[in-house]
Amino acid sequence: MGSEGPALTIHVTGFKKFHGVSENPTETIVNNLREYTKKNGLPKGMILGSCSILDTAGQGAVNPLYQTLQSAVGTKGSGSSNSGGVIWVHFGVNSGATRFAIENQAVNEATFRCPDEMGWKPQKVPIVPADGGISRIRKTTLPVEEITKVLAKMGYEVTTSDDAGRFVCNYVYYHSLRFAEQNRIQSLFVHVPLFLTIEEETQMQFVTSLLDVLTCLS
């Protein structure tokens, strides 16, 4: 169990607003997470690392994304606190969703239904050309089915998903999974609904429960 060995460090990201979503719940969740966990406590054996907000953009935001991802590896091994492993958890909104979705994989395809926040609107473009064509899939090494089952037993409306879309969420997840494989860390993407669908307090509880489950399974 994660609580018995060296501490697990979990870094989280959310997104800013984008076309059609003027207030992104993941920006609120990630910005408030550190304060929320201070009040409510963190799982034993877990350290909350960075809490970063990403631009909702693909190609134009790759450099800041990699700087963010690299920051976790830069601290890895610099102290015993990080020797228990590193997980990136990325949160994105699905405005049409009625439940949380734990994403199993990302596809090497950028097909944006609308321009991103930097005006880029690719169609059937490989995210990482060096990886080959747009059908290439990368999967998380985390046990998505098990994570989902535990969260469902806690009473959350949650499902597994094999389709993170082809917009910025999938774009970031693909890069993150590739980076995780190269650096021997782990990555997970979670889609959340709007606060109109599932209120903010329930979403904050869900996120802290997810951190707990990840720590226990690590």
Question: Is the pTM for the entire model greater than 0.85?
Answer: yes
CB 81 within 8 A of CB 180: no
Residue 36 main-chain phi, psi, to 5 deg? -65, -40
Per-residue burial over 55-67, b = 16 or more CB atoms within 10 Å of its CB, e = otherwise: bbbbeebeeebee
Residue 159's pLDDT is what? 98
Least confident of 19-28, 137-146, 182-191: 19-28
> For residue 172, is pLDDT > 60?
yes
Residue 4's pLDDT is what? 58
Mean pLDDT on 10-25? 86
> For residue 199, is pLDDT > 50?
yes
Burial of 113 (0-12, 13-18, 19+ CB in 10 A): exposed
> For residue 207, is pLDDT > 70?
yes
24-62 pLDDT, tens per residue? Answer: 999 999 999 999 999 999 999 999 999 999 999 998 888
Cα 9 off chain centre by = 14
91-140 pLDDT, tens per residue? Answer: 999 989 999 999 999 999 999 999 998 999 999 999 999 999 999 999 99
The count of C-alpha atoms lying within 13 angstroms of the C-alpha of 154, restricted to the half-sphere facing its C-beta, is 18
| DSSP secondary structure code for residue 65 in this structure | H
Residue 78's pLDDT is what? 40
| DSSP secondary structure code for residue 2 in this structure | T
Selected residue with higher pLDDT from 21 and 127: 127
Closest CA to 101 of 159, 26, 156, 140: 159
List the domains of the chain with CATH numbers: 8-72+84-217 (3.40.630.20)
Residue 75's pLDDT is what? 58
Distance CA 31, CA 14 (A): 8
57-83 pLDDT, tens per residue? Answer: 998 888 888 998 998 887 554 433 446
